[in-house]
Structure 1
């Protein structure tokens, strides 16, 4: 593509550099004749001779010519190579070249004549870094290291370490540029919760036992235990034979 561009510029500047007695829309043939130029999209098939004008032919597919000219060959269309970070923005025609643009996530590293000829992927920030300036089509991504007290596990942005004290916790592991500190709840907080519960349970147990003892005493006073003696024991009474004989005889 660059060689084509150089040839085209040389063709345009040739009359200025070496002189040209022909008109602005003419070119000087190899025979020294001033011949009419071919229109855009066409090139010279045969130069003019005497009374015969220039004959032109259209550019074949895959070639183009974008200016009136006296050339015998068209320029080859440019290819936009994806592996070089480029894509086709507009396709080539007989009157204009292919227009390439930079793929997303890439930036141009070879730019000239308002065209990018090679692009590469944006740099990816490493863990412990963050993106200071995102990449563009002309500039690579700019990364910076996380300052002390911040971490970035993925390289996107730096996050401040967790403040364990603010969460009423204790720090059990220090942080780094790629990981956060590790906090854990304070253990004494558990004891603070257990002590009131244990105290309340002891009070309830004490009141329950006291109430049970009180009820037992009341029951004893209301229902005394009766002692049995020999005086209160009655023996069965048996009739004598005489008493039995006095009973009337039932016939």
Structure 2
């Protein structure tokens, strides 16, 4: 009868996040933001990632990863400062949003026409959503972030005074923007003190 002898090799438990096993030993990895220039189990030589590069986890790699290029010609802006411990994400410039789920390029936000306002103001991911101005409000601007203004009924209405610089001409209340005067709500029975 033959007897088989098995030698069980002892394998140490190494922390999989910060160590690796080599020849029965737990060896140290380089920390995030660095790469390993010399592999030495107990005393590895680690160097900082160069500019525009990153390493987001403990590593034995001898090179850091390159940060993505954010092409200004595609309406992206570069995130600053760029991190050496995490991948930078290219974002669309203000007034632009991703053209698709993959965000390969950025396109200009939808513009809300006069009489419409922004139901949802565009972000770097989502487009502006416009809707007709609700009853009792107005918008006379063309903009992707157009907000509604309340119509002024009283010239001394504090809620409206910051928006509507009240101007009464021939019994009608106007809102003045630059040299443009737009007729607003007028109630002939209101007293304009």
- Could you state the TM-score of these two structures normalised by the residue count of structure 1? 0.38
Structure ID, larger Rg: 1
Report 1 or 2 for greater relative contact order, CA contacts < 8 Å, sequence distance ≥ 6.
2
Q: Which has the higher helix share?
A: 1
